[in-house]
Amino acid sequence: MKITLAQLNPIVGDVSGNLKKVVDTLEQYAGETDLIIFSELFLVGYPPRDLLEQPALIEATQAAVQKLLAVSRSFPKTGLLVGAPMPTGLDTGKGLNNCALLICGGEILFRQNKSLLPTYDVFDETRHFDPGAQVNVVNFQGETLGISICEDAWYDPELWSRRLYPCDPIQVLAQKGATLLINISASPFQVGKEEVRFRLFHNHAQRFGLPFIYVNQVGGNDELIFDGHSLALDSWGEPVTVLTGFREAVATVDPAAPGKPGLYQPLEEIATVHEALVLGLRDYFRKCGFSKAVVGLSGGVDSAVTCCLAQQALGQDNVLGVLMPSPYSSQGSIRDSRKLAKNLGVQVKEIPITPIYRAYLRSLKGHLEVEKIGVALENVQARIRGNLLMALSNEFGYLVLSTGNKSEMAVGYCTLYGDMSGGLSVLADVPKTMVYQLARYLNRERILIPTEIITKPPSAELRPDQKDQDTLPPYEILDQIMNYYLTEGYSFKDITRLGFEPDVVRWVIRAIDRSEYKRRQAAPGLKITSKAFGMGRRIPIAARYEF
C-alpha cells in the first residue's frame, strides 16, 4: 500500500482555497498512491475558534465535502483522509464533531470523531465540539486502519503528571486489530516539542508493533505556528520518512518498508525558534493581506533581531527601518542602526524626535515637572516614536512590528501606546537571553547584526546614561525566575528554595502580576514556548492575589 503525506498550509476559514489544495494534490498524486492524508480540520484550517459558531462556515464545509465526493469518483483507486468539522446530527451537545473523513470513489467510507478534546494552554475544543463516543478501525486497501486525531495520540503517562482522560484511543485501536496507525494533527510548535512528539510516536509504534503515520499542519495562524515534521515510522518505531519542517511538503511512502535508524535528525533548538518566527511572521502578513513592514530601529538587539527576521520573511524591499533619535540617543546607536540596515539591504529613514519632544515639554510645563526626567517623560518619547511609526503605517500601508521581548513584557518594562504599538509582536514570547542567542544565530554565516549591538549593555536610552539593569535584575536571573513562575507554576517559596534572592523573586513576581493590564492591550505575539502571554494564558486583571 502506498500512502501520501500531504503536509500543507491551510488558511483559517478559506474553505474554497483549502478544498483546492486537496483537489490539486489528489489530481497530482492519484496515479501513484492508494491514500492521501491531510491534517486535522484541514478544510477550515486550525484553529477556527469561534468561526465554528457561524452556520455559513459549516454549510461551506459540508458543500466542500460534497465536492470532494464528486471529484473522488474520477479517482476510484485513491482514497482521501481529510479533517473537517461535521454536524453530529444530535439535538444535544455542541452539535459538531472534529472529524477525520475517509473518502473514496464518491463515498464517505468511514468517519472517525476526535475523542480526546484538549482544554489546556491554547486549546479550547470543548467550547465547540462534542467528543467522539467510540473509536473504531476500518478496512481499506488490504490494511486495517486505526485513525486518530491529534490529542487522541497524546495519552502517555510519561507526558502528564495526572491522567487527563479515562481511555487511550491508540491502545483501543491496536486492540481492535489495526494494522496501521494514522494520526492527523494540528500540533503547534514550541521549543523542544518536536523531539517529544517523535519519542511519543516511536513509543506507540514500538509498544503495539505497528507502523505509525503522522501528518501535521504547517504554517502560521495568528499567534500559533505549526511546524509540520510529519513522519512515517515502521513497526519498530524507526523512521521511514520525516518531512522537512516549517514548509509545505508532500511525500509518498510504503508503511511496510523498513525504517532507517538515524534518519531523524532534529535541528538545534535556536534554529527551530528562528524557523518558527520567520514562518509565523511571513504567514501573518500573507494571510492578513499585508506585504510591507516598518520597524523602529533603536540600536538595540531586540529591534535588530526583529528587523532581521522581517527581512528574511518578507524580503529586503518590503522592510523599512526607522531611526528616531532623541536627545538621549547615543551616536553609537544611530551608527549601529544604519550599519544594520545596510547589512540587511533594507530601506532606512531617520526622523529625529527632539523637536517634537521639546514641544511636548513646553505644552506640559506647569502640569508636569519637566525639568527632571522621570517615567512620564521617558514614556512621552516612546509614545512619540509609536505615533510616528503608526503615521507611516497609515500613509503607506506598512504593518508596524513591535519589538519588545518576553522578559520586558513580563515585568511591564514597556510603554503602552509607545514601543508596544504595532500589529504583530515578533519577540513577545522570546526571553531576552534567547534574543541574544537568536542574534548570534542570525550572524552564524556572516555579520548581519553589528557586533556592537550584541555586546553593549541594553538600554532604552530615554534618559542620560540609562541601562536596563538600573531598573531590572540581570536578564540571566530575571529569565529564570520568569520561567519558574510562569511556565512551571512555582510559588515564591518554591523559587527562593532554588537559591534566588527573596527580594529579587518578590519584585519579579509582583511586576509580572501587576503588568497584566498592559499585556491585555499588546499586539498579538508569536508563540514559541510552552507558556506564552496571549491566548494560552487567561489571567484576570482586576484581581488581588499573591503566590
Non-local (6+) Cβ contacts of 131 within 8 A are: 113, 114, 115, 116, 117
* HSE-up of residue 61 (Cα within 13 Å, Cβ side): 27
How many whole angstroms separate alpha carbon 508 and alpha carbon 490? 13
Q: Which position has the grid cell 464517505?
A: 108
- Residue type for position 401: L
Three cell numbers written together for 199: 519519542
- Per the annotation, the verdict on 288 as an active-site residue is no
* DSSP strand pairing (218-221 vs 224-227): antiparallel
Vertex 283 angle, CA 281 and 284, to 5°: 65
How is residue 522 annotated by DSSP?
Answer: S
Q: Is 482 exposed, middle or buried (0-12, 13-18, 19+ CB in 10 A)?
A: buried
How many residues appear in the chain? 547
Which residues make beta-bridge pairs with 139? 144
Q: Do the beta carbons of residue 455 and residue 439 sit within 8 Å?
A: no
Q: Distance between CA atoms of 507 and 496, rounded to whole angstroms? A: 12
**Which amino acid would we find at residue 494?**
D
Per the annotation, the verdict on 114 as an active-site residue is yes
Cα angle 483-125-46, degrees, rounded to a multiple of 5: 85
Residue 23 identity: V
Strands 399-402 and 293-297: parallel
> Which of 150, 422, 438, 454 has the alpha carbon at shortest distance from 275?
438
339 is catalytic: no
Catalytic residue among 21, 94, 114, 518: 114
Q: Which of 104, 150, 307, 308 is catalytic?
A: 150
Task: Find the catalytic residue in 21, 40, 275, 414.
Answer: 40
Residue 353 and residue 388 in contact, taking contact as beta carbons nearer than 8 Å: yes
Task: Return the active site residues.
Answer: 40, 114, 150
